[in-house]
Amino acid sequence: MNIKEYFSSLFEGTHSLIKGMEVTGKELFTKKVTEQYPENRAELKIPERFRATLQFIYDEEGYHKCIACKTCERNCPNGTIQIITRMVDLPNGKKKMKLDKYMYDLGSCTFCGLCVSTCPTDAIEFSNDFEQAVFRREALLKQLNYLPEKEKPAPEPKPAPAPKLEAAKPAAQEPKPEPKVEEPKAEPKVEDSNDVQPNVEQKETE
């Protein structure tokens, strides 16, 4: 190494050192973002779209929208979901497959979101509740339909359709009474001329 190379590498090293110190010095005075967890649990803000665990969507009345179609189970790439179904008898005599248990293994979920995006009824979603630590691995296996199943009330029968207004049909004509055929009157009996009584006047002239 000659004298020129020596001073050149010295300059580069010093420049690199100053550059590094500049970055460190800047971070020294910027606002800290370290979360003091769990002390700050009350004011902790987790982004809404953070995928922490899968959950069922229940409405205020305790109904969910899962129709047990198993689309999510088929689309899950690593068998995290297991859907157990049962057959129920409907009031109309038909049978229907209903959800019995929706099992989800948080321990093997990769949070890819395929199950949520392919569900035809939007029955599941990701919760951002990140506090899912447990002591036993089996505890990560969860039944998502935790509320007792409620039967939806049968739909009210549809009102009978209003009768169609048909063009006024001519009233069925009653058969006219047949004209009475009068029986021919009995002709007066023509008495024998011999039986005719002589006229009174005739008698007087005699």
Restricted to residues 90-129, the positions that interact with ligand SF4 (CB under 6 A) are 109-115, 119, 121, 123-124
CA distances (Å), 121 to each of 64, 80, 91, in order? 10, 19, 24
Q: Binding of ligand SF4 at residue 57 (CB under 6 A)? A: no
Q: Binding of ligand SF4 at residue 141 (CB under 6 A)? A: no
Q: In the complex, what is the shortest distance from the CB of residue 21 to ligand SF4, in angstroms, rounded to a whole number?
A: 44
Among 58, 70, 127, 140, which residue interacts with ligand SF4 (rule: CB under 6 A)? 70
Residue where the block lists tokens 């910027």: 30
Whether 92 contacts 155, CB under 8 Å: no
Nearer of residues 16 and 118 to ligand SF4, judged by Cβ: 118
Nearer of residues 112 and 140 to ligand SF4, judged by Cβ: 112
Instruction: Report how far residue 190's alpha carbon sits from residue 206's, in angstroms, rounded to the nearest whole number.
Output: 27
Residue 1's contacts (CB-CB under 8 Å, 6 or more residues apart) are 9
Q: Binding of ligand SF4 at residue 83 (CB under 6 A)? A: yes
91: which 2 tokens?
């009031």
Instruction: Report how far residue 124's alpha carbon sits from residue 137's, in angstroms, rounded to the nearest whole number.
Output: 23
Nearer of residues 16 and 117 to ligand SF4, judged by Cβ: 117
Q: How many residues does the chain have?
A: 206
Chain positions contacting ligand SF4, by CB under 6 A: 54, 66-72, 75-78, 80-81, 83, 109-115, 119, 121, 123-124
